[in-house]
Amino acid sequence: MIDKRLNLDSGWSIGEASFEVIVAAVKSLRADAKIVEFGSGASSIRLACALPDSQIISVESDRHFFNQSATLAKEYGVATNLRLIFSPLKFHNYAFGKILSYSFKDCFNEGEIDCVIIDGPPFYTLRGREACLYHIYNQLKIGGIVVLNNYQRKGEKAILENWKAVYPDSFNATSIDVGKQLVLQRKQRSVAPEWDHPAKCRDAELINKYYDRIRLALLHLTDSEWVAGFNGMRLPRNRAQLYHYYIIQLRNAYELSSDEYDTAARIYRQFNKGALQRLRADHVRSCLDILGLL
């Protein structure tokens, strides 16, 4: 019987059916495959147990989930083939756009990679999962596979289209309708990235605007004002708490300066109470709409 803490059908886990597909795909490559997993958790432990001859590097941006994974890894004795890396979120620049993703520090001194599993960072980074392939593309072997989870979401569909634009004819992609939907890509050839592809540039421009809008909302709202905004929308208490957690994570990732907060405060003093309430409500709704939470 599986330890309930390792149940992949609960919470944000990848799902048991998806896990079986991934394990089968890795086994089809080689017994001692080298795997990079973005987004650690119960799946990391299960992979290490199911693929004892493989080497797994699992990258996590959330300290709480990283500590949970480390505790489970120690308890299950999988340190020999599982290495966990804490990699906080930061912004990266790509030609015409920026992406909030892992810092990628200490992640890519591993030589050639057989498989990349992308189940992080969280959705509120907007295109964070897209950046994972950019940072590991050159190390992914010809014939190696990339697994993208949550393909049912609009954001992941956009990520796949951006990959196709940047790396034309590099991958053979298959959508698999299990769990939260997977896309499995097999690398056919290495190509030079086309960062100036029109489709990629259009999406980068849109995401830049979204990041700037989120930044504005973070500057103009304190944590208590976010909570007040959620209450005003009559969100259930558990959902409001979860959304507040997302906002805290974003605030940490944006690394807003005291000067920026001072400037925002001066702007706010220009509004009367009623206008201020309307502006704050607009910030909350706009931000949640961008994140797909409305």
- The 10s digit of each residue's pLDDT in 28-57 is 999 999 999 999 999 999 999 999 999 999
Q: How many CA atoms lie within 13 A of 133 on its CB side?
A: 28
Residue 269 has pLDDT above 90, yes or no: no
Average pLDDT value over all residues in the chain: 93
CA 180/CA 177 separation, integer angstroms = 8
Q: What is the pLDDT of residue 13?
A: 85
Residue 137 carries which DSSP code? G
Whether 80 has a pLDDT exceeding 70, the answer reads yes
Q: What tokens were used for 251? A: 């605030």
Read off the pLDDT of each residue in 136-154 and give the average, rounded to a whole number: 96
**CA end-to-end span of the chain, whole Å?**
38
Q: Are 100 and 71 in contact (CB under 8 A)?
A: no
What is the radius of gyration, based on Cα positions, of the chain?
20
Task: Tell whether the model's pLDDT for residue 10 goes beyond 90.
Answer: no
| DSSP secondary structure of 231-294 | HHTT--HHHHHHHHHHHHHHHHHHT--HHHHHHHHHHHTTS-HHHHHHHHHHHHHHHHHHTT--
Say how far apart CA 276 and CA 290 lie, in whole Å: 21
Of 125, 130, 149, the C-alpha closest to 62 is 125
Yes or no: say if 158 and 203 are a contact pair by the CB < 8 Å rule: yes
**% pLDDT > 90, the chain:** 77
88-103 confidence digits (pLDDT tens): 999 999 878 999 999 9
Q: Are 35 and 47 in contact (CB under 8 A)?
A: yes
49/17 Cα distance (integer angstroms): 17
pLDDT score of 188 more than 70: yes
Q: Would you mind telling me the total number of residues written for the chain in this entry? A: 294
Residue 106 pLDDT grade (very low, low, confident, very high; cuts 50, 70, 90): low
The single-letter DSSP state of residue 34 is E
CA distance linking residue 216 with residue 280, whole number of Å: 11
Strands (E), 41-151: 55-60, 82-86, 89-94, 97-102, 113-118, 140-149
* Rounded CA separation 278/168 (Å): 46
Element housing 184 (H / E):
strand 182-187
**Residue 11 pLDDT class (50, 70, 90 cuts):** confident
**Res. 150 pLDDT band, cuts 50 70 90:** very high
Q: Which of 43, 245, 207, 224 has the alpha carbon at shortest distance from 128?
A: 207
Amino acid at 238: N
Q: pTM value?
A: 0.94
CA distance 12 to 8: 8
Amino acid at residue number 224: S
Q: What is the pLDDT of residues 224-246, one digit of tens each?
A: 899 988 988 888 989 999 999 99
pLDDT at 2 over 80: no
pLDDT band at 118 (very low <50, low <70, confident <90, very high): very high
Contact 89, 100 (CB under 8 A): yes
Q: Is pLDDT of 200 > 60? A: yes
* 3-state SS assignment for residue 239: helix
In this predicted structure, the answer to whether residue 279 has a pLDDT above a threshold of 80 is: yes
d(CA 129, CA 99): 9
- If pLDDT is split at 50, 70 and 90, which confidence band does 110 have? low
Tokens of 18: 């998806």
Residue 258's contacts (CB-CB under 8 Å, 6 or more residues apart) are none
Higher pLDDT, 13 or 251: 251
Quick one: what percent of the chain has pLDDT higher than 70? 98
Secondary structure class of 115 (helix, strand, coil): strand
